[in-house]
Amino acid sequence: MTWEYRGYRPKKNLDEVTVGPPSVLDSYYRLLNFNNGLPRDHPLIHVQRKAIARLAVMFCEAARLRSVRALVYHQMDLYVNGTITSLITRKRITSWSLISAFALHCWRREHDGIEGYLQEELDKLHPIDIYDANLVAGEPDGELLLILYREEAFAGLQQHAPEPQLQ
């Protein structure tokens, strides 16, 4: 997901994306008579894109990221709309590929029979405030939810791989 719904850019507009039951209903009614044949400058285009962005955050991103799921669950329980106020959650929504790339790095190494992970790969997650490999995948604190988490594959995340020896 590139996070560009033909002009609506939640990277810049996440403060406009509300989550909660009223947002689901509003998005449903706004998209009920969806018209993709409108000219790009038609005012309804922005409304439709915003509705799609809301649903994408509530369903797709909440299925993928634990912090988003917690926010959506909270708003659903309260039956009110809320915005994504956490800057860290916003960063993780727009940079989820960094998290999944690290998880794939760990999986590849495990698949190749190499224990641990490279510290430089974990360091790539610092901009989104992940400093510990255990915060990437798995229970109870892993951010990624849509990963084939196997304890044997990710159990050794506490140790990073030794640096390669130059010959």
Regarding pTM above 0.75, the answer is no
The tens digit of pLDDT for each residue in 51-76 reads 999 999 999 999 889 999 999 999 99
pLDDT per residue as tens digits for the range 128-167: 999 998 888 877 788 888 655 555 545 555 555 555 556 5
CB-count burial class (<10 Å; 0-12, 13-18, 19+) for 27: buried
Burial of 82: CB neighbours in 10 Å, binned 0-12, 13-18, 19+? middle
Task: Label residue 11 by pLDDT band (50, 70, 90).
Answer: low
Output DSSP code: residue 57.
I
The pLDDT value given to residue 5: 41
Give per-residue pLDDT as tens, 107-126.
899 889 998 899 999 999 99
